[in-house]
């Protein structure tokens, strides 16, 4: 599969079982301009990955003629920071990584975002090869070129507040890497798949919700064929969306909002995801994952869309059912009052000229932008995912 971006860059996204150890895929030509002369690669990897996976990936790049400089990264939102970018850049500099020599990001969205940003900064930009190891990062974070870090402002952590657009040279989605992924993280990835499915008609896949529904049990059972199909269909939706709007500048030209459509569910999600003290289910599920926050945000925003007459109530209910079947929370305890959550949304990047702009799932599996939705309707929609 190849993404074609408006501004000219295009890259391959290879999806399959065992692609990370496929020498045919890992040629140096695939690393983009200058890649054929590359002699080194910096492997920024999640430090929690099974040792065998890290070693096998390093061996595959070595077999492609690249000496590996390894740099372990802790995958947490707190470590998705400028300090980690600096550490990766220092590792690249001590290993004398040159222009044209890639950073290889092996891990979930945290590693992809922070290592991608380090690649965008080091020597003013070296190639990045994204090797996602979570469902979420395969279907979403690894494609599209958004990289970045969180920034602490006062007492809160502002998600993705600094970053750069830096398109990968190559994306390798090896579904075999997910064999070690905890079930909770697999379910979290399903939230982004469900988001794509809710807006799929705008990006060439009106049937994605049906496919997702019928594939759920196979995917949760780690069936390789089901995973490859789900990842491929989602990458195609993401690529169709970002290919038309590489830098998120189309919001006012396209009815679905261009790349902003991908923010469906994320206005609420970003406001609640780093709040301490939230819980759902057992105490061990305290603190939301990104995907869980996206599922809750999507549900609240779908209910807002229904209140505004943009979505049928039945479609919002269908969404709740599919989230539940995926094992995702549809309510959370410990949310602060809705006015505080709306105030947190005001700090988000989705504010234009002081006005909140929310990408809502709309009728017919499409997306629409709502500028400054009525605050009482927004507060009521947030209240519907309140679990206490
Ligand atoms: N750049 C983008 O376009 C974009 C899009 C969506 C999300 N994101 C970002 O992605 C991040 C979330 O990504 P994520 O859900 O992949 O989270 P993550 O990177 O934190 O990974 C989740 C957990 O799974 C572990 N893990 C990862 N792969 C594993 C494997 N194969 N086996 C065992 N354990 C594994 C990690 O150590 C971590 O504990 C957020 O920071 C979010 O902002 C970025």
Which residues sit opposite 152 in a β-bridge? 157
pTM (2 d.p.): 0.93
Lowest mean pLDDT among 118-132, 173-187, 216-230, 239-253: 239-253
Q: Which domain holds residue 194?
A: 184-383
pLDDT by residue (tens digit) across 329-356? 999 999 999 999 999 887 665 666 778 9
Range in 157-166, 215-224, 300-309 the model is least confident about? 157-166
Same domain, residue pair 82 and 201:
no
292 located within any domain = yes
Q: Are 57 and 29 in contact (CB under 8 A)?
A: no
346 and 282 in a single domain? The answer is yes
What is the CATH classification number for the domain harbouring 379?
A: 1.20.1090.10
Q: Residue 75: CB within 6 Å of ligand 1? A: yes
Atom of ligand 1 nearest to the CA of 48: 37
Same domain, 273 and 330: yes
205 shares its domain with 281: yes
Q: Which of 256, 33, 221 is nearest to 127 (CA)?
A: 33
Q: Is 321 within a domain? A: yes
| Token pair in block for residue 158 | 């502002």
- State the angle between helix axes of 224-243 and 183-198 in degrees (0 to 180), rounded to the nearest 10: 50
CATH code of the domain covering residue 100: 3.40.50.1970
Selection from 141, 353, 328, 319 nearest residue 235 by Cα: 141
CA-116 nearest atom, ligand 1: 1
What is the average pLDDT across 356-360? 94
The whole-number pLDDT of residue 31 equals 77
Pick from 260, 263, 259: nearest CA to 245: 259
**Residue 294 domain flag:** yes
According to the model, what pLDDT value does residue 282 have?
64
Question: β-strand 10-16 against 2-4: which pairing, if any?
Answer: antiparallel
Whether residue 388 lies inside any domain: the answer is no
Last residue of a domain, which of 143, 161, 181? 181
Query: Among the listed ranges 6-10, 226-230, 235-239, 244-248, which one has the minimum average pLDDT value?
Result: 6-10
The secondary structure element, H or E, covering residue 313 is helix 313-325
Looking at the structure of the chain, the number of domains it has is 2
**Residue ending a domain, choose from 136, 165, 181:** 181
From 132, 155, 181, the end of a domain falls on: 181
For residue 81, being part of any structural domain is answered with yes
Q: Which of 3, 19, 44, 46 to mutate to test the pocket of ligand 1 (most atoms within 8 A of CB)?
A: 46
Q: Take atom 34 of ligand 1 and give the residue whose Cα is closest.
A: 181
Residues 55 and 202 in one domain: no
Beta carbon of 134 within 6 Å of any ligand 1 atom: yes
Q: Please, what is the average pLDDT of the chain? A: 91
Lowest mean pLDDT among 82-96, 126-140, 179-193, 332-346: 332-346
Do residues 193 and 114 share a domain?
Answer: no
Q: Is residue 44 part of a domain?
A: yes
**Same structural domain for residues 196 and 340?**
yes
Locus of tokens 């065992």: 18
Claim to verify: residue 215 and residue 148 sit in the same structural domain: no
Domain match, 167 and 218 both: no
30-43 pLDDT tens trace: 777 777 789 999 99
Residue bearing the CA closest to ligand 1, atom 36: 75
List the beta bridge partners of residue 366. 362
Q: How far is the CA of 354 from the centre of ligand 1 (A)?
A: 31
pLDDT > 70? residue 250: no
Asked whether residue 4 carries a pLDDT value surpassing 80, the answer given is no
The number of the ligand 1 atom at minimal distance from the alpha carbon of 77 is 41
Q: What is the pLDDT of residue 6?
A: 44
Q: Secondary structure of the chain: what % helix, strand, coil (to 5)?
A: 45, 20, 35
Query: What's the average model confidence in pLDDT over 354-369?
Result: 93
Question: Does residue 181 have its Cβ closer than 6 Å to ligand 1?
Answer: yes
Q: Is the pLDDT of residue 183 over 90?
A: yes
| DSSP for residue 181 | S
Cβ–ligand 1 contact at 27 (below 6 Å): no
Are 9 and 88 contained in the same domain? Answer: yes
Nearest CA to ligand 1 atom 13: 109
Cα-to-centroid distance, 41 and ligand 1 (Å)? 22
* 316 lies in the same domain as 191: yes
Assess whether 37 and 102 both reside in one domain.
Answer: yes
Indicate if the pLDDT at residue 66 is higher than 70: yes
Q: Among 161, 155, 237, 227, which Cα is nearest to 196's? A: 237
* Residue 148 falls inside a structural domain: yes
């Amino acid at each position: 599969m190849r993404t074609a971006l408006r501004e000219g860059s295009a890259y391959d996204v290879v999806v399959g079982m065992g692609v990370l150890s496929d020498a045919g895929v890992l040629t140096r030509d695939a690393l983009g301009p200058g890649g054929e002369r590359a002699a080194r690669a910096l492997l920024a990897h999640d430090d929690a990955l099974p040792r065998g996976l890290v070693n096998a990936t390093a061996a595959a790049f070595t077999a492609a003629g690249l000496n590996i400089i390894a740099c372990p990264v802790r995958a947490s939102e707190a470590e998705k920071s400028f300090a980690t970018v600096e550490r990766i850049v220092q590792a690249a500099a001590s290993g004398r990584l040159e222009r044209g020599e890639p950073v290889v990001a092996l891990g979930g969205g945290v590693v992809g975002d922070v290592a991608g940003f380090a690649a965008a900064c080091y020597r003013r930009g070296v190639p990045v090869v994204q090797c996602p190891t979570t469902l979420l990062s395969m279907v979403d974070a690894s494609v599209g070129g958004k990289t970045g870090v969180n920034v602490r402002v006062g007492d809160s952590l502002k998600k993705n507040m600094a970053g750069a657009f830096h398109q990968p040279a190559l994306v390798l989605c090896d579904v075999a890497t997910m064999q070690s992924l905890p079930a909770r993280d697999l379910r979290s990835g399903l939230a982004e798949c469900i988001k794509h499915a809710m807006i799929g008609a705008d990006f060439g896949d009106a049937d994605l919700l049906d496919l997702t529904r019928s594939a759920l049990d196979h995917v949760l059972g780690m069936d390789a064929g089901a995973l490859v199909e789900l990842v491929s269909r989602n990458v195609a939706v993401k690529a169709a969306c970002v290919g038309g709007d590489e830098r998120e500048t189309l919001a006012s030209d396209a009815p679905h909002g261009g790349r902003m459509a991908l923010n469906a569910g994320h206005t609420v999600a970003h406001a609640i995801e780093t709040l301490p003290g939230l819980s759902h289910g057992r105490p061990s599920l305290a603190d939301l994952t990104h995907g869980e926050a996206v599922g809750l945000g999507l549900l609240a925003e779908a209910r807002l869309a229904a209140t505004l007459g943009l979505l049928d109530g039945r479609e919002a209910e269908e969404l709740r059912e599919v989230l539940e079947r995926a094992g995702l929370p549809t309510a959370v305890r410990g949310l602060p009052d809705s006015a505080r959550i709306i105030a947190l949304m005001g700090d988000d990047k989705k504010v234009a000229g002081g006005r909140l702009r929310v990408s809502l799932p709309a009728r017919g599996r499409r997306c629409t932008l709502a500028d400054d939705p009525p605050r009482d309707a927004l507060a009521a929609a947030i209240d519907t995912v309140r679990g206490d």
